[in-house]
Amino acid sequence: MVLAYDFYKAFWLLNPKLSKEKFLDIVGAEKGYSLNMFTRIYNSIYSELIDVENEYEKYYSFEYETFEIYLFKKYNIETKAIKKLIKKKNKYPHCRIYRKDDHSYGDYNIPQFITSETMYKRITKLLKQKI
């Protein structure tokens, strides 16, 4: 799941144990263009992630009563979107909620491709798999 919260910034629900090797194995990319493209996709997604749950627990739990209130007040996320995110998190307890700047990787076309209509469900399903 990807939840945008600001210009080119989003929360991602990801399995932190999904290695690049496992990701490439699952998608079947072995050589050539597919290996290059899926390596770039993985690097784009997993580069410079900030674990929002850890950030809350470590720095903000004394200031905000709950994680949901933290998301609402710090990131101005709508209550409905927070409930949806938490529901997905509960459905996939092996995943963590991360935040990232879409352009932190430097390849601006990859985030657009990942979140395109044809790829979004495929990629997010893959990123939530239990390893």
Give the model confidence (pLDDT) of 67-88 as tens digits: 999 999 999 999 999 999 999 9
Nearest to 98 by CA among 8, 7, 6, 15: 15
> Is pLDDT at 35 greater than 90 in this prediction?
yes
pTM value is 0.83
* Residue percentage of the chain with pLDDT more than 70: 96
> Is pLDDT at 114 greater than 90 in this prediction?
no
Q: Check if the beta carbon of residue 77 is closer than 8 Å to that of residue 68.
A: no
Instruction: Read off the tokens for 114.
Output: 């990942």
Q: Check if the beta carbon of residue 12 is closer than 8 Å to that of residue 126.
A: no
105 vs 71, residue with greater confidence:
71
